[in-house]
Structure 1
Amino acid sequence: MAWLLLLVAGLMEVGWAIGLKYTEGFTRFWPSALTLAAMVASVVMLGIAMKSLPVGTSYAVWVGVGAVGTAILGIVLFNEPATLGRIASLALILAGIVGLKLATP
């Protein structure tokens, strides 16, 4: 259950990171409200997951899921470059997330 919460927390991090783009500097109410709600939900779920998972593993996985998801959505939604170097780097982060999952009891 902790791993599922951690994954959802990471996905919520993707949501608020992408949401920041739509807030236009927190000048738009609904995008700002949804972004702030995603921030709170993400951190709360991370905290709950940390009750039973190591802090280093939890934080690294949370940030990794957020980074990979945000970068992929940046490519898809905002036409950011999808260079070989970027894709390879995202694959390495993903490999690190999988490695942490496999190495954590």
Structure 2
Amino acid sequence: MIALSAAASAASVTLQPGQTGQLADKKITVLRVQDSRCAPDVQCIRAGELVAKVLMSEQGRCRFLTLQLPEEKNAEWRGVRLEQATFGKQPRLTFTDEQR
């Protein structure tokens, strides 16, 4: 399922691994997800992280990106960021073009 929203002119799209969706003028494909986050109902020593490998195409140019949750401090703005992700074997990742 692909969800688009426009809040303060920002777009978002929610995808699962293997899916492709449109984010404003960009096409995003989720290639691979590695999730080492601590589940909400479990007490962990370390919170962990989710790393998503994506292919972004925009205006005929393609780039491979590695996006992370939680977002790294001082992360370079690449025109898209990983905003949130559900837990599970097939997590749902929400991407946005809104810069923090």
- Which structure has the highest strand share of the two? 2
TM over 0.5: no
What is the TM-score of this pair, normalised by structure 1? 0.22
| TM-score (ref. length: structure 2) | 0.23
Report which of the two structures shows the higher radius of gyration computed on alpha carbons.
1
If asked which structure has higher relative contact order (CA below 8 Å, sep 6+), I would say 1
Higher share in helix: 1
